[in-house]
Chains A and B, each alone.
Chain A
Amino acid sequence: MSTPLIEIKDLHVSVEGKQILQGLNLTINEGEIHAVMGPNGAGKSTLSNTIMGHYNYKVQSGSIIYKGQDIKDMTADQRARLGIFLAFQYPTAIPGVSLGNFLLACTRSVRGEDSVKPLPFRKELFAKMKELGIPQEFAKRYVNEGFSGGEKKRLEILQMAMLRPSLALLDETDSGLDIDALKVVAEGISRELAANNTAALVITHYQRLLDYVKPQHIHILAGGRIVESGGPELALQLEKTGYDDIINKYLK
């Protein structure tokens, strides 16, 4: 369990000329679950987008070593094929493309064309949809078009389930969910992480998702750096004190 899956060293990232991450360090070992918390604008989404390889996020210095190689010059699809997955905070609609066809294309691309046959794929897809409480007919609907916020989040986890990543970046997957929806999504996440020994970087503002996903490590991101790290107790403490102390201590 102690083999490093991803090691981020002294990472500096800018977005549209604006400096966001300023010397971030983070190591996640295989199968470990880490949570990153922090106030708005701290750089949480920048971190997940940078690891995934969004072209608007420019790495100025530092390194991202994943499975032993520096991936910082790789495109997002190359990273996806190496086992990195990002569950989006705001999944984008792709009108006219059915979820089923989209998932077949993605699954083939990530797992390999030859290892994904249409019939077993359908069986697996429908089984996973059932587990996540997603109606089967959603497979015919267009990707992220006309779905509620909660449905979109479930569909993100469905994609994760099909792509079986080694590292899942979950960007505020709990936002916009009511208690019941949160339970279904969070249980789905826990189940899928365990099934594939997937490591996770869970980005959230709130404790409630962590009650289900149970990270071993909590990091607090502020001003583009990780300013504190600890065990689950750190999240509980934050829940009581809020971010004011952090902001006062590191950002003033």
Chain B
Amino acid sequence: MSEKNQEIKDIGNSYKYGFADAEDYVYKSGTGLSPRLITEMSRMKGEPDWMLHNRLKAYEVFMSKPMPSWGPDLSGVRFDDIHYYVRPSERPAVTSWDDVPEYIKNTFDRLGVPEAERKHLAGLTAQYESEVVYHSIKSNLEEKGVIFLDMDSALREHPDLVKKYFGTVIPMTDNKFAALNTSVWSGGSFIYVPKGVKVDIPLQAYFRINAQAMGQFERTLIIADEGAFVHYVEGCTAPIYSQDSLHSAVVELIAMEGARIRYSTIQNWSTNVFNLVTKRAHAYKNATVEWIDGNIGSKISMKYPAIYLLGEGAHGEVISVAFAGKGQIQDTGAKIVHAADNTTSNVLSKSISKGGGQASYRGLVKVSGDAENVKGNVRCDALLLDGISRSDTYPTMLVSNPKVRIGHEATVSKVGDEQIFYLMSRGLSESDALAMIINGFFEPFAKELPMEYAVELNRLIKMEMEGSVG
């Protein structure tokens, strides 16, 4: 048994993406955030005045808002020690990998990003520190009017469209970190899919933090016009440092009538990154929004993808997995607001904790008083790999209308000796047996991912098991 416990303890201790590049930057701000830095950065980007004003206003909101009074302890986030803006290259996002600085291109090669782009993506943005260094989109999509740009380029090339929707789903006053992002955002993706256009192949963004004590604040806005469809995938990694970094994104989705947006995340930050993200969608009549959210890495993650079902017949889906290893807190969940008749939602949350890690589901399902014929379901499954790890569930249901159906179910289980023995008696090594049990537990999530990402997820889990076999 002691051998087995040792193996279980070691799962998740190997992080493959922890390498770092030497810094060779055009601009790197000192530590701390100030109106002066915000102004300087906005000038460097050549932004319109309204955006600078918006940023400065958000800075005031950020300064005046308290830290969240609930959830994990965020006292380790030292706002004054963070570098808020790092510009790796003089050039704005380029469309050929040959034009990306050599060392950055090599890093993305090591992460397998260009290869994934060639094989199974319709478009890609690659962000390094504060800026998107590369973006591409297949020409047939461009011809159909699909816009897929980094947010800075979108602000330059489509200022009216950005101005119309920016901050309409997540106002700067929503929470302290949304305000922070709004004041110092840089990079991220902008997608507009015109009426009736279906983007069958996923678009992807990859985010890489390289410097120590870095703050990355990308801003993403996706608009699917009536009847449109888009699947967007994001991935992220960072080197391992002793000093913590902060990743605080804001992601806004707008699904117009009959549109569908699927947003998939494999978050694999190193364990010195605070990942405090605000993600929210508006779904109009008969629209569907799906958040497929995988949290493997980071030190503390706080992320509760939200869907506001604003139009009749809208549907929302949040399927998430979290892996909390030693020293990690995954405080994740979902927020669904049923604000119209005949709206439906489904939340499935799966978490694994080990080595003292903590995984919590924090969720809210709210039904507006006058919404009729609403159906919602929440299911949380937690798997504990040892006796020192934790799993908590904080579900909140706010339902004033008695004629709605909201279900909730939660389970907690431990990897049983009997399961391990059963698989070992069939010739599988102990680590393979554990990997198989964990893959099986994640299966309802993995089957929602595109094949390549499901394989990647399996590989990640398997790798973390293998690192444990002495």
Q: Which residues of A contact B (CB under 8 A)?
A: 52-56, 75-77, 79-81, 85-86, 88, 91-97, 102, 105-106, 109-110, 142-143, 159, 163
**Measured between C-beta atoms, what is the minimum distance from A169 to chain B in Å?**
9
Q: How far is the CA of A81 from the CA of B433 in the complex (A)?
A: 14
Contact with A along B391-406 (1 / 0, CB 8 A): 0000000000000000
Contacts of A92 in B (CB 8 A): 416, 418-419, 421-422
Q: How far is the CA of A96 from the CA of B427 in the complex (A)?
A: 19
Contacts of A75 in B (CB 8 A): 424, 429-430
Contacts of A81 in B (CB 8 A): 427
Contacts of A52 in B (CB 8 A): 421, 425
Of all A-B residue pairs in the complex, the 4 with the closest CB atoms, nearest first, are A96-B440, A96-B443, A109-B427, A97-B440
Point out the residue from B4, B426, B437, B439 that lies within 8 Å of A109, measured CB to CB. B426
Contacts A55-B421, A94-B422 given: A77-B429 contact, CB under 8 Å?
A: yes
Cβ of B417 within 8 Å of any chain A Cβ, yes or no, is yes
Point out the residue from A56, A91, A97, A110 that lies within 8 Å of B427, measured CB to CB. A110
Cβ of B201 within 8 Å of any chain A Cβ, yes or no, is no
Q: How far is the CA of A96 from the CA of B429 in the complex (A)?
A: 19
Do the beta carbons of A97 and B422 come within 8 Å of each other? no
Contacts of B439 in A (CB 8 A): 96-97
Contact with A along B1-21 (1 / 0, CB 8 A): 100100000000000000000
Do the beta carbons of B436 and A97 come within 8 Å of each other? yes
List, sorted by A's number, 10 A–B pairs whose CB atoms are closer than 8 Å.
A55-B421, A56-B1, A56-B417, A75-B424, A76-B424, A77-B428, A92-B416, A95-B441, A96-B440, A106-B423
Contacts of A96 in B (CB 8 A): 439-444
Do the beta carbons of A77 and B427 come within 8 Å of each other? yes
Cβ of B81 within 8 Å of any chain A Cβ, yes or no, is no
Contacts A54-B421, A94-B419 given: A159-B440 contact, CB under 8 Å?
A: no
Contacts of B437 in A (CB 8 A): 94, 97
Cβ of B372 within 8 Å of any chain A Cβ, yes or no, is no
Question: Among the interface residues B419, B430, B440, which one has the most CB atoms of the partner chain A within 10 A?
Answer: B440
Q: How far is the CA of A163 from the CA of B428 in the complex (A)?
A: 12
Q: Which residues of B contact A (CB under 8 A)?
A: 1, 4, 416-419, 421-430, 432-433, 436-437, 439-444
Q: How far is the CA of A77 from the CA of B411 in the complex (A)?
A: 30
Q: Label chain B's interface by main secondary structure.
A: helix
**Measured between C-beta atoms, what is the minimum distance from B187 to chain A in Å?**
36
**Measured between C-beta atoms, what is the minimum distance from A162 to chain B in Å?**
9
**Measured between C-beta atoms, what is the minimum distance from A233 to chain B in Å?**
33
Do the beta carbons of A105 and B1 come within 8 Å of each other? no
Point out the residue from B425, B432, B441, B442 that lies within 8 Å of A105, measured CB to CB. B432
Do the beta carbons of B427 and A163 come within 8 Å of each other? yes
Question: Among the interface residues A52, A91, A102, A110, which one has the most CB atoms of the partner chain B within 10 A?
Answer: A102
**Measured between C-beta atoms, what is the minimum distance from B188 to chain A in Å?**
34
Contacts A96-B439, A96-B442, A105-B432 given: A55-B426 contact, CB under 8 Å?
A: no
Q: How far is the CA of A181 from the CA of B225 in the complex (A)?
A: 58
Q: How far is the CA of A105 from the CA of B434 in the complex (A)?
A: 13
Do the beta carbons of B428 and A55 come within 8 Å of each other? no
Contacts of B436 in A (CB 8 A): 94, 97, 102, 105
Residue of B nearest to A101 (CB): B436
Contacts of B424 in A (CB 8 A): 53, 75-77, 80
Do the beta carbons of B427 and A80 come within 8 Å of each other? yes
Point out the residue from B416, B425, B432 that lies within 8 Å of A76, measured CB to CB. B425
Contacts of A53 in B (CB 8 A): 424-425
**Measured between C-beta atoms, what is the minimum distance from B226 to chain A in Å?**
37
Contacts A55-B4, A106-B428 given: A76-B444 contact, CB under 8 Å?
A: no
Do the beta carbons of B426 and A159 come within 8 Å of each other? yes
Do the beta carbons of B1 and A86 come within 8 Å of each other? no
Question: Among the interface residues B4, B422, B437, B443, which one has the most CB atoms of the partner chain A within 10 A?
Answer: B422
Q: How far is the CA of A94 from the CA of B424 in the complex (A)?
A: 13
Q: How far is the CA of A76 from the CA of B427 in the complex (A)?
A: 7
Point out the residue from A80, A93, A97, A142 that lies within 8 Å of B425, measured CB to CB. A80
Question: Among the interface residues B428, B433, B441, which one has the most CB atoms of the partner chain A within 10 A?
Answer: B428
Question: Among the interface residues A81, A86, A95, A163, which one has the most CB atoms of the partner chain B within 10 A?
Answer: A95
Q: How far is the CA of A94 from the CA of B435 in the complex (A)?
A: 12
Contacts of B428 in A (CB 8 A): 77, 105-106, 109
Do the beta carbons of A88 and B417 come within 8 Å of each other? no
Q: How far is the CA of A106 from the CA of B425 in the complex (A)?
A: 9
Contacts of A54 in B (CB 8 A): 421
Residue of B nearest to A95 (CB): B440
Contacts A105-B432, A106-B428, A110-B427 given: A88-B440 contact, CB under 8 Å?
A: no
Q: How far is the CA of A96 from the CA of B433 in the complex (A)?
A: 13
Q: How far is the CA of A106 from the CA of B430 in the complex (A)?
A: 13
Point out the residue from A56, A85, A86, A97 that lies within 8 Å of B443, measured CB to CB. A97
Do the beta carbons of B427 and A106 come within 8 Å of each other? yes
**Measured between C-beta atoms, what is the minimum distance from B1 to chain A in Å?**
6
Contacts of B421 in A (CB 8 A): 52, 54-55, 76, 92
**Measured between C-beta atoms, what is the minimum distance from A188 to chain B in Å?**
18
Contacts A96-B440, A163-B427 given: A91-B1 contact, CB under 8 Å?
A: no
Q: How far is the CA of A109 from the CA of B441 in the complex (A)?
A: 22
Q: How far is the CA of A102 from the CA of B422 in the complex (A)?
A: 11
Contacts of B416 in A (CB 8 A): 92
Residue of B nearest to A85 (CB): B425
Q: How far is the CA of A243 from the CA of B443 in the complex (A)?
A: 48
Contacts of A56 in B (CB 8 A): 1, 417
Residue of A nearest to B426 (CB): A106
Do the beta carbons of A94 and B423 come within 8 Å of each other? yes
Q: How far is the CA of A103 from the CA of B129 in the complex (A)?
A: 45
Contacts A76-B425, A94-B436, A97-B437 aside, 9 further interface pairs with beta carbons under 8 A come to: A55-B417, A77-B428, A79-B425, A95-B441, A95-B443, A102-B426, A106-B428, A109-B427, A142-B440
Q: How far is the CA of A92 from the CA of B4 in the complex (A)?
A: 19
Q: How far is the CA of A86 from the CA of B418 in the complex (A)?
A: 13
